[in-house]
A and B are shown apart, each in its own frame.
Chain A
Amino acid sequence: MAIPDWLRSRRGKNAETRDAAVWSKCPMCGEVLYRRDLAANLFVCTKCGHHFRMMAYDRISMLIDGDFTEIGAGIRPGDPLGWVDKKTYPVKLAGDQEKSGLTEGIVCGVGSIDGFEVALGVMDFHFRGGTMGTVVGERLTLLLEEARKRSIPCIIFTASGGARMEEGMFALMQMAKTTAAVSRLKDDGNFFVTVLTDPTTGGVSASFAFESDIIVAEPKAMIGFAGRRVIEQTIRQKLPDQFQTAEFLLEKGHIDMVVDRHELKAALVRLLQYAAAGKRVRA
């Protein structure tokens, strides 16, 4: 199936309603942008270059050549703690599903990028702030296992507020589970790349996001362990604007490169070419 058809087939009524929002305002410069122009520009502000947070399927269609075979799509969240605050957790999840058109905070699958078969996972901040619960952890693990089975590179796009509170310790344990899967993948000599997008924090940054061979980030993405608010409360002072941005992390030596979204696919293809050129060694 060609990607546009496939995308249409994936999108339900909710997506159509969402698309009805014809105009989007740039949160950075305030420019009002025609949604179609914004999409054509890969969701980068045509005026100031601000990188909007992308929907998972938009991201996939930006990268994948043709078919994309989803992994773990049938897995749905449960409610292990029986969580209730203002709403029950299942009600919150239903709201996220309605709002995002997704069943959970990540879409995983196998497809080709410029001829290279890859296992691709894309987190989506629009679903519960991209938080990692059991389904996100399980889909990621299935993806990493599939990459290992097929001996193909794995690329994961992160966008996450961290571990999902409503799933308590089950959510925290996904850090352990995904790490275990990453370690097996790498031990077998497979190439693992993470692309950190705005924002990447907490339990996601402190697990698979920073366990990859190569870490790429999008411009101005907020990346860190502790949230800005938490740090400001702890030290009782305002943090400088550039603190925890992708550029700040690049300067500090935490990540390999910051790549503009227009160059991202080409940069990933070059990385895949280098990895394919080597003779792999198993640990």
Chain B
Amino acid sequence: MNLIVEREKGLLEVERRISGLRSANANQPVDMSPEIAALQKKYEELQRELFGSLTPWQKVHMARHPDRPTTLDYIAQLDRFDELHGDRMFRDDPAVVAGFALLGGRAVMVMGQQRGRDTKENLRRNFGMVTPEGYRKVQRLAKTASRLGLPIVTFIDTKGADPGISSEEHAQSEAIAMCLYEFTEARVPIVATIVGEGGSGGALALGIADRVIMLENSVYSVASPEGCAAILWGDSAKAEEAAERLKLTAADLQRFGIIDEIVPEPLGGAHRDPARVVAEVLGSIGSSLQQLSESSPDALREARYQKYRRIGAWQTERLETVGPGR
């Protein structure tokens, strides 16, 4: 059960009452405006109380909200999109959507994990959990983009890579590893945006980028909170505790230098005003691409290397011995 959906139930009730009063007010001699204003005030207070300050665990649920804009919602607002399919080996994985697109007049290669909004679509999209075939589609198109000189734009939204039997049989590890490799080698700008949940290596496979953007309530972590709790404490029910400890919020990760930019969301989450959020995200990606377009391919790759080279090296700064020991 999604915690945010639960919290929204009380709000929806007030919303219904307000719109009921509004329509009644139109054809009634008595002016109901003060009542409407009072309810509106109550509504706003309730909204602030419920969503003004979310815990990491609540943000996990916000990131998983069924109405939250997904990859295809962003793609739908691009100037043009031509979907490309398949890994050229075995099948097309619907958990990854990819293709040529125009973003702010610029030709790009776009790709992202796609979860479903309902059970039926989730089954088809495997809840956004990508199989090796999906990661091979990503590699293939990243290579093409690099050769053609088209920037790569990714949208990240997955609990993690698919953990099934056939994924293991088809070398899930290799598929993810070689995505990391292709993104490292790509001679074009890469901009990644975590639009929902970014879980583990399955998310990072689309996450090596020159610029990493995150929505305010998106989360990004080494493992899903459930997975982390299962690994460390053998109990996935302790996911809330894991979410607290993992430092998976956008604010934490910006402080750590792991992401570059946060796109704010309206109170109550991105799904409260999807059009605005999608436009803002696409605007941010556009300006990042504009900045990055000024660098040469070699300079881009060098800067990307140095960026990842530095992450996590901070502990060594305080030590006298760095480099070859003895």
**B173 close to A225 (CB less than 8 A):** yes
**A184 close to B312 (CB less than 8 A):** no
Q: Does B200 contact A (CB under 8 A)?
A: yes
Stretch at the interface among B20-28, B39-47, B97-105, B302-310: B302-310
Chain B interface, >50% SS class = helix
**Quick one: CB contact mask for B172-211 with A, threshold 8 Å, 1 for yes?**
1110111011001100000000000000110011011000
**Cα distance A142–B181 in the bound complex, in angstroms:** 18
Residues of B within 8 Å of A, CB-based: how many? 62
**A176 close to B228 (CB less than 8 A):** no
The residues in B between 143 and 191 inclusive whose CB is less than 8 angstroms from any CB of A are 161, 163-165, 167-174, 176-178, 180-181, 184-185
Q: Nearest 6 A-B pairs (CB), nearest first?
A: A74-B321, A78-B315, A73-B325, A134-B312, A226-B163, A205-B173
The residues in B between 108 and 162 inclusive whose CB is less than 8 angstroms from any CB of A are 161
Q: Does B29 contact A (CB under 8 A)?
A: no
**A171 close to B222 (CB less than 8 A):** yes
**B180 close to A74 (CB less than 8 A):** no
Q: Does B316 contact A (CB under 8 A)?
A: yes
Which residues of chain A are near B312, meaning CB under 8 Å?
80, 133-134, 137-138, 167, 170-171, 173-174, 177
Chain A interface category by residue count: 35 or more
Given A73-B326, A74-B322, A80-B315, A169 and B177 contact (CB-CB distance below 8 Å): no
**A163 close to B315 (CB less than 8 A):** no
Q: Does A77 contact B (CB under 8 A)?
A: yes
**Cα distance A252–B200 in the bound complex, in angstroms:** 25
**Cα distance A223–B200 in the bound complex, in angstroms:** 18
Q: Does A146 contact B (CB under 8 A)?
A: yes
**A179 close to B171 (CB less than 8 A):** no
Residues of A within 8 A of B (CB): 69-78, 80-81, 83-85, 133-135, 137-138, 141-142, 146, 161-177, 179-184, 187, 202-203, 205-211, 223-227, 229-231, 234-235, 239, 243-244, 249, 252-254
Residue of B nearest to A131 (CB): B231
Q: How far is the CB of A121 from chain B (nearest CB, A)?
A: 14
Which residues of chain A are near B305, meaning CB under 8 Å?
180, 184
Chosen A-B contacts, 17 in total, with CB atoms closer than 8 Å, are: A72-B325, A74-B320, A78-B314, A80-B314, A135-B315, A138-B313, A165-B223, A165-B242, A167-B312, A170-B256, A174-B312, A182-B181, A206-B177, A211-B178, A224-B168, A230-B227, A243-B165
**B201 close to A254 (CB less than 8 A):** no
Q: Does B230 contact A (CB under 8 A)?
A: yes
Stretch at the interface among B73-81, B246-254, B266-274: B246-254
**B164 close to A169 (CB less than 8 A):** no
Which residues of chain A are near B180, meaning CB under 8 Å?
175-176, 179, 206-207, 211
**Cα distance A69–B178 in the bound complex, in angstroms:** 31
Q: Among A75, A76, A183, A253, point to the contact of B181 (Cβ < 8 A).
A: A183
Q: How far is the CB of A230 from chain B (nearest CB, A)?
A: 5
Q: How far is the CB of A264 from chain B (nearest CB, A)?
A: 21
Q: Does B311 contact A (CB under 8 A)?
A: yes
Q: How far is the CB of B165 from chain A (nearest CB, A)?
A: 6
**A142 close to B323 (CB less than 8 A):** yes
**A75 close to B326 (CB less than 8 A):** no
Which residues of chain A are near B84, meaning CB under 8 Å?
none
